Amino acid sequence: ILKGKTALVTGSTSGIGLGIAKALAEAGANLVLNGFGDAAAALAEVGRFGTEVRYHGADLGQAQQIAELMGFAGREFGGVDILVNNAGIQHVAPIDAFPPEKWDAVLAINLTAAFHTTRLALPHMKANNWGRIVNIASAHGLVASVNKSAYVAAKHGLVGLTKTVALELAKTGITCNAICPGWVLTPLVAQQIAARAQAKNISVDDAEAELLLEKQPSGAFVTPEQLGALALFLCSNAAAEVRGAAWNMDGGWTAQ
Ligand code: NAD
């Protein structure tokens, strides 16, 4: 259903972004991948669906590098039809011990980057009167947890940005929505599980179970494949009138 479309998924060398990139490629989209780590492995995984796949290693914390990434997508494919703002980082600390440079980095990568990619992707989308912008927020875009001030502020901000962009484009064929996942077992969360296991002197398995029990009523992790399927739906024509949603997939986290 996405044949002939080009998708950019930021932070797609790992975790949720990689899962979404695979779902979009499987549906026929050409892909621009981005993120740190093993680019060759991501290119191979997403490339196996037979569409055109490229990689650009822009640091999404740097506005200039975001402009270079968007220019690259334009040169390679003529522009971005589907923009998935997924790159994100976490830092956990009480606010009075929160390093200001970590605050700046979390806000830059999790929120400001989406502003830049969106404003730079829109001219091409408007010219075609078709586009899909999918922002990967979080359950923390809807509710808070202790010690995550920067992340919660950035994700609430991303939900706000999503609604504003959706309204500005409401009369066009371009939609903008957010997905709000609960716990997904990716490197970002594995790090938090390891820290918990160490702090409490418990096993990684016990720390994992504790983490889920605390927030996620299902007791099960959400998977990158499930999030890929939801992102694909939001990119479909059936979702043409889903606008400005903050759509949770969180095992019941925010229903409590
Ligand atoms: P991850 O650590 O597995 O992947 C993050 C990706 O972003 C990687 O590809 C990484 O290289 C990239 N990245 C990080 N900093 C970057 C930068 N400065 N420039 C470019 N790329 C950068 O994490 P994940 O769990 O897959 O997270 C993906 C998104 O989903 C994030 O926005 C995260 O906040 C959100 N999210 C995750 C969970 C979860 O439980 N894992 C829950 C809700 C929301």
- Please name the residues in contact with 81: beta carbons below 8 A apart, sequence gap of 6 or more: 5, 6, 7, 29, 124, 125, 128, 130, 131, 132
* pLDDT band at 247; cut points 50, 70, 90: very high
From 180, 181, 183, select the one nearest 210 (Cα to Cα).
183
Please compute Rg for the chain using Cα positions: 18
Q: Kindly tell me if the per-residue pLDDT of 57 is higher than 90.
A: yes
pLDDT digits (tens, 9 = 90+) for 95-114: 999 999 999 999 999 999 99
pLDDT digits (tens, 9 = 90+) for 7-43: 999 999 999 999 999 999 999 999 999 999 999 999 9
88 CA → ligand 1 middle, Å: 4
Q: Mark whether 151 is an active-site residue.
A: yes
Count CB atoms within 10 A of the CB of residue 100. Answer: 8
pLDDT digits (tens, 9 = 90+) for 170-210: 999 999 999 999 999 999 899 989 999 999 999 999 999 99
From 55, 81, 73, 78, select the one nearest 3 (Cα to Cα).
81
190 CA → ligand 1 middle, Å: 12
CATH 3.40.50.300, applies to 6-182+223-255 = no
Which atom of ligand 1 lies closest to the CA of 85? 32
Q: Output the pLDDT for position 233.
A: 98
Q: Output the pLDDT for position 188.
A: 86
Name all residues whose Cβ lies below 6 A of ligand 1.
11-17, 34-37, 59-61, 86-89, 109-110, 136, 138, 181, 183-184, 186-189
Average pLDDT over residues 60-87: 98
Residue with the nearest Cα to atom 6 of ligand 1?
A: 11
Average pLDDT over residues 233-255: 98
Helices 149-168 & 100-107 angle (0-180, nearest 10): 30
35 CA → ligand 1 middle, Å: 9
Enter the tokens of residue 139: 């359950």
Mutation choice for ligand 1 from 9, 10, 14, 64, CB with most ligand atoms inside 8 A:
14
Enter the tokens of residue 113: 């980057």
Q: Kindly tell me if the per-residue pLDDT of 74 is higher than 90.
A: yes
User: Cα–Cα distance between 92 and 189 in angstroms, integer?
Assistant: 11
127 CA → ligand 1 middle, Å: 30
Which atom of ligand 1 lies closest to the CA of 61? 18
Neighbour-count burial of 208, counting CB atoms closer than 10 A to its CB (0-12 exposed, 13-18 middle, 19+ buried): buried
- Please name the residues in contact with 163: beta carbons below 8 A apart, sequence gap of 6 or more: 244, 246
CB 255 within 8 A of CB 215: no
How large is the ipTM? Answer: 0.99
CB 183 within 8 A of CB 216: yes
Q: Output the pLDDT for position 159.
A: 99
CB 133 within 8 A of CB 121: yes
User: Cα–Cα distance between 17 and 24 in angstroms, integer?
Assistant: 11
User: Cα–Cα distance between 12 and 7 in angstroms, integer?
Assistant: 11
170 CA → ligand 1 middle, Å: 28
Residue with the nearest Cα to atom 36 of ligand 1?
A: 138
Q: Mean pLDDT of all residues in the chain?
A: 97
Average pLDDT over residues 73-86: 98
Would you say how long the chain is, in residues?
A: 256
Which atom of ligand 1 lies closest to the CA of 181? 43
Neighbour-count burial of 163, counting CB atoms closer than 10 A to its CB (0-12 exposed, 13-18 middle, 19+ buried): middle
Tell me, what amino acid is at 43?
L
Residue with the nearest Cα to atom 33 of ligand 1?
A: 88
Which atom of ligand 1 lies closest to the CA of 105? 18
State the maximum Cα–Cα separation within the chain, in Å, rounded to a whole number. 57
Give the three-class secondary structure for 9. Answer: strand
User: Cα–Cα distance between 139 and 153 in angstroms, integer?
Assistant: 12
